């Protein structure tokens, strides 16, 4: 082939290459073109065969020209690749619009469970008065749950608490009062403790759950009487429900206290005018209490001639329901974030 022809063919190859690479429709087309032009048997390399047809001084010129053509085609190739990528990204963005004006999404924040919060608030009140926290097991012996608390076996007083028995002869404690005797057996008086914990009864409706929580209080010292009980429980009610909260003691019965009382607070909803929540009486019951029965002190190896004590038991669910105006106890156990989220501070 005469050299002019080689030059013009090479020019044609360049023109053709620039055009077809520039108009490649997609990635696959580009890959095919890459093979066609730059492969080992590609069209650019093929020009090297014409070397032998040229005079010795024309040969280096051809080499340089072929290199130039390859460089230009390669530059166009990189350009085309970039172009295709951009077009793809734009098409993607059209599909999945990003709205930069939207507010950011905050990570979910946890919150204390309302029962936990109420328990902590009650604990704080008694801790500030010098009480300490004590605990006992949830699966309890009949002895501590009933017998030592002056509920004799087969005594009708046991009907007050619908019990869940376990197969090993123990039971799920029906109240936190067993911690009273356990504490007396472990520590010398004077004793000032509160015992928070889970308790169980065979009971289930909108205000009763088979699993619920109580805080027991026990105070043993020389010379205690009902006025001490009244004074501390009054302070407790005022710290929890507001400093003008009035309380009253009503005679009641528990086997392990004598005398026993039920403590009411003046209705916080109607200011004692009478409403559905206080059943038109102006008073709402919040806890049971009383002077520790001498029989119970004796079970705890404490001499009732020397020491006296008073005790109370308060339901945490009940207090939380009153504090927050909750009418269905099951809300505490359903883990519904719409409910639980309202107690975030
Ligand atoms: N244990 C009683 C109950 O669960 C409450 C109580 C505790 C009463 C301490 C008097 C003294 O009903």
Give, for all 345 residues of the chain, the pLDDT tens digit: 567 777 788 888 889 888 989 888 888 888 888 888 888 888 888 877 777 777 888 888 888 888 888 899 899 999 999 999 998 888 888 888 888 899 999 888 888 999 999 999 999 999 999 999 999 999 999 999 999 999 988 888 888 888 999 999 899 999 999 999 999 999 999 999 999 999 999 988 888 899 999 999 999 999 999 999 999 999 999 999 999 999 999 999 999 999 999 999 999 999 999 998 899 999 999 999 999 999 999 999 999 999 999 999 999 999 999 999 998 999 999 999 999 989 886
**C-beta 177 within 6 A of ligand 1:** yes
Residues 88, 28, single domain; the answer is yes
Answer whether residue 105 is part of any domain.
no
Domain that holds residue 16: 3-95
C-alpha span between 225 and 243 (Å, rounded) = 24
Distance CA 202, CA 208 (A): 9
Q: Answer with the one of 95, 124, 142 that is the final residue of a domain.
A: 95
| Nearest atom of ligand 1 to the alpha carbon of 314 | 5
Is 27 a domain residue? yes
Q: Measure CA 173 to chain center.
A: 27
**Measured from the CB, is residue 145 less than 6 Å from ligand 1?**
no
Same domain flag for 197 and 84: no
Compute the residue count for the chain.
345
Do 90 and 131 lie in a common domain?
no
The answer as to whether 103 is a domain residue is no
Name 276's Cβ contacts closer than 8 Å, sequence gap at least 6: none
Residues 32 and 155 in one domain: no
Q: Which two tokens stand for residue 38?
A: 């730059």
Ligand 1 pocket check for 254: Cβ under 6 Å: yes
Structure tokens at 329: 């106890």
Closest CA to 118 of 338, 339, 315, 328: 315
Q: Provide the domain count of the chain.
A: 2
Question: Given the CA of residue 289, which atom of ligand 1 is nearest to it?
Answer: 10
Distance CA 292, CA 289 (A): 9
Rounded to an integer, what distance in angstroms lies between the CA atom of residue 231 and that of residue 308? 16
Residue 75 inside a domain? The answer is yes
Those residues whose C-beta lies under 8 Å from the C-beta of residue 38, and which sit 6 or more positions away, are: 44, 45, 70, 73, 74, 77
Do 67 and 120 fall into the same domain?
no
CA of 314 to the centre of ligand 1 (A): 7
pLDDT for res 97:
81
Q: Are residues 130 and 66 in the same domain?
A: no
Instruction: Give the single-character DSSP code of 208.
Output: B
Does ligand 1 lie within 6 Å of residue 150's CB atom?
no
Helices (H) and strands (E) in the chain, counts: 11, 10
Distance (Å, rounded) from C-alpha 159 to C-alpha 144? 17
Report the residue among 182, 217, 313 best suited for mutation to probe ligand 1: largest number of ligand atoms under 8 A from its CB: 313
Is 104 a member of any domain?
no
Specify the ligand 1 atom closest to the Cα of 175: 4
Residue to substitute in 258, 288, 317 for testing ligand 1 pocket (most ligand atoms within 8 angstroms of CB): 288
- The pLDDT assigned to 1 comes to 58
- Is residue 45 one of the residues assigned to a domain? yes
Under 8 Å CB-to-CB from 138, ≥6 apart: which residues? 172, 173, 197, 198, 199, 200
Determine, yes or no, domain membership for 188.
yes
Q: Do 233 and 131 sit in the same domain of this protein?
A: yes
Give the Å distance between the CA of 146 and the centre of ligand 1: 12
Question: Is 203 a domain residue?
Answer: yes
CB 11 within 8 A of CB 62: no
Q: Is the CB of 175 under 6 A from ligand 1?
A: yes
271 shares a domain with 221: yes
Q: How far apart are the first and last CA of the chain?
A: 90
Distance of CA 253 from the midpoint of ligand 1 (Å): 10
Same-domain check for residues 254 and 317: yes
For position 164, what pLDDT does the model report?
A: 92
Q: Which pLDDT value is given to residue 288?
A: 98
Provide the CATH number for the domain around residue 139: 3.30.930.10
Bridge partners of 164? 172
For residue 212, report the distance from its CA to the centre of ligand 1, in Å. 14
CA distance 90 to 88: 5
**178 phi-psi bin (left φ>0, alpha ψ -120 to 50, beta other):** alpha
Q: Around Cβ 5, how many Cβ atoms within 10 Å?
A: 11
- pLDDT at position 333, please? 95
Distance 312 CA to ligand 1 centre (A): 6
DSSP 303: -
Shortest-distance Cα residue to atom 6 of ligand 1: 313
What is the CA(162)–ligand 1 centre distance, in A? 14
CA of 176, closest atom in ligand 1: 1
């Amino acid at each position: 082939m005469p050299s002019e022809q080689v030059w013009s063919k090479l020019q044609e190859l360049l023109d053709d290459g620039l055009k077809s690479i520039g108009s490649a429709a997609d990635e696959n087309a580009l890959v095919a073109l890459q093979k066609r032009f730059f492969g080992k048997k590609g069209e650019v390399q093929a020009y090297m065969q014409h070397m032998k047809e040229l005079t010795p001084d024309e040969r280096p010129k051809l080499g340089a020209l072929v290199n130039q053509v390859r460089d230009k085609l390669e530059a166009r190739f990189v350009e085309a690749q970039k172009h295709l990528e951009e077009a793809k990204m734009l098409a993607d963005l059209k599909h999945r619009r990003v709205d930069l004006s939207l507010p950011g999404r905050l990570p979910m924040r946890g919150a204390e469970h309302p029962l936990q919060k109420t328990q902590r608030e009650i604990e704080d009140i008694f801790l500030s008065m010098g009480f300490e926290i004590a605990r006992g097991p949830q699966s309890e012996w009949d002895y501590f749950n009933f017998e030592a608390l002056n509920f004799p076996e087969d005594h009708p007083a046991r009907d007050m608490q619908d019990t869940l028995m376990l197969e090993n002869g123990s039971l799920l404690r029906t109240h936190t009062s067993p911690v009273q005797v356990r504490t007396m057996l472990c520590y010398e008086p004077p004793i000032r403790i509160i015992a928070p914990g889970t308790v169980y009864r065979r009971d289930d409706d909108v205000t009763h759950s088979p699993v619920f929580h109580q805080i027991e209080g026990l105070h043993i010292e020389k010379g205690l009487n009902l006025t001490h009980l009244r004074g501390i429980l009054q302070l407790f009610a005022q710290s929890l429900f507001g400093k003008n909260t009035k309380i009253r003691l009503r005679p009641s019965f528990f086997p392990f206290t004598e005398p026993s009382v039920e403590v009411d607070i003046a209705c916080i909803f109607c200011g004692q005018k009478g409403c559905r929540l206080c059943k038109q009486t102006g008073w709402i019951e919040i806890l049971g209490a009383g002077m520790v029965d001498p029989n119970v002190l004796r079970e705890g190896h404490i001499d009732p001639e020397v020491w006296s004590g008073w005790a109370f038991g308060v339901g945490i669910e009940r207090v939380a329901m009153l504090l927050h105006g909750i009418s269905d106890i099951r809300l505490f156990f359903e883990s519904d974030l719409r409910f639980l989220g309202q107690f975030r501070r």
